[in-house]
């Protein structure tokens, strides 16, 4: 049985998919997002080795909560696709036991891996970092082609999807870029929701702990009006009220 590296397991999650959820954070990520609040998960070896069975045993302890709340398990990270073999077996094991599966990911992987993983996902939480190629590369250190391809595969396979977009003043706050993203997302009939999340610095102290400079110390938290404006653009575009 495949062994994976699990950074942590959080029970009682309420924001990472529907209902009450067990959130499994896998270690390892190749992206270096400037606003990352879990840089301690970047190194795969930062996690604790666990087999799929060991992980499922922890998840199954809370099955009654999933049942009455409509919840389940959310696999997050790090970037869970970084451990795609372990991820696949874990998703399959959960579904075999009737547990609703959610994947929280950047979608940064190859097409063949996406085609194996996504059929085992009940809900996809996909982070779109930016729809501007230059901004995406500056923000994450990687190009945006793989996440966009991942989204397209999710549509082909009919996977229910929620999009997450982090609003960072000075980085992802260009309203024209947001409008272009919104227009692009109209093509996808599998997208159920688009959430604009305000940038925060709750994980800044973790950067110091791993001795990596944090570049956004002087970046302000966005105002509620800024977040609302971005959310309204995405909502209106998605419903076709703005052309």
pLDDT of residue 142: 96
Instruction: Answer whether residue 242 shows pLDDT above 50.
Output: no
pLDDT of residue 239: 57
Instruction: Answer whether residue 243 shows pLDDT above 80.
Output: no
Dump pLDDT digits (tens) for 84-120.
999 999 999 999 999 999 999 999 999 999 999 999 9
Instruction: Answer whether residue 179 shows pLDDT above 70.
Output: yes
Instruction: Answer whether residue 129 shows pLDDT above 90.
Output: yes
* φ, ψ of residue 193 in degrees (nearest 5): -145, 155
* φ, ψ of residue 232 in degrees (nearest 5): -65, -40
- 166 three-state secondary structure: strand
State the residue for tokens 């919104």.
182
Instruction: Answer whether residue 219 shows pLDDT above 90.
Output: yes
Residue 34 burial (C-beta neighbours within 10 Å; 0-12, 13-18, 19+) = middle
Binning pLDDT at 50, 70 and 90, where does residue 218 land?
very high
Binning pLDDT at 50, 70 and 90, where does residue 240 land?
low
Cβ(47)–Cβ(6) under 8 Å? yes
- 209 three-state secondary structure: helix
Q: Where are the beta strands (DSSP E) in 14-54?
A: 21-26, 48-51
15 versus 200: the higher-pLDDT residue is: 200
Q: Is the dihedral of CA 50, 89, 23, 162 positive or negative?
A: positive
Round to whole Å and give the CA distance between 57 and 94: 10
Q: What is the DSSP string of 118-132?
A: GGG-SEEEEE---SS
Q: 44, 132, 117: which is closest to 87 by C-alpha?
A: 117
Q: Which domain holds residue 166?
A: 3-239
The count of other CB atoms within 10 Å of the CB of residue 22 is 26
Number of domains into which the chain is organized: 1
We report the CATH number of the domain holding residue 204 as 3.20.20.70
pLDDT of residue 110: 95
Dump pLDDT digits (tens) for 137-148.
999 999 999 999
Binning pLDDT at 50, 70 and 90, where does residue 32 land?
very high
Tell me the longest C-alpha to C-alpha distance in the chain.
51
Q: What is the mean pLDDT of residues 35-57?
A: 94
């Amino acid at each position: 049985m495949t062994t994976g590296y699990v950074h942590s397991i959080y029970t009682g999650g309420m924001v990472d998919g529907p209902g009450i959820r067990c959130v499994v954070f896998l270690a390892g990520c190749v992206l270096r997002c400037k606003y990352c609040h879990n840089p301690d998960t970047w190194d795969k070896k930062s996690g604790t080795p666990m087999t799929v069975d060991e992980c499922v045993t922890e998840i199954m302890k809370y099955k009654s909560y999933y049942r009455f709340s409509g919840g389940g398990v959310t696999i997050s990270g790090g970037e869970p696709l970084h451990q795609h073999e372990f991820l696949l077996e874990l998703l399959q094991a959960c579904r075999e036991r009737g547990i609703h599966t959610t994947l929280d990911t950047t979608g940064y992987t190859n097409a063949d891996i996406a085609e194996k993983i996504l059929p085992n996902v009940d809900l996809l939480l996909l982070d779109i970092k930016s729809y501007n190629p230059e901004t995406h590369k500056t923000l994450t250190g990687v190009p945006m082609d793989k996440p966009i391809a991942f989204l397209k595969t999710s549509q082909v396979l009919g996977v229910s999807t929620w999009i997450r977009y982090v609003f960072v003043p000075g980085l992802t706050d260009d309203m024209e870029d947001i409008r272009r993203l919104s227009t692009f997302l109209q093509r996808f009939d599998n997208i159920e929701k688009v959430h604009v999340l305000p940038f925060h610095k709750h994980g800044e102290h973790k950067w110091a702990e791993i001795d990596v400079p944090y570049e956004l110390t002087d970046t302000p938290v966005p105002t509620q009006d800024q977040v609302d404006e971005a959310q309204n653009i995405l909502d209106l575009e998605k419903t076709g009220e703005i052309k």
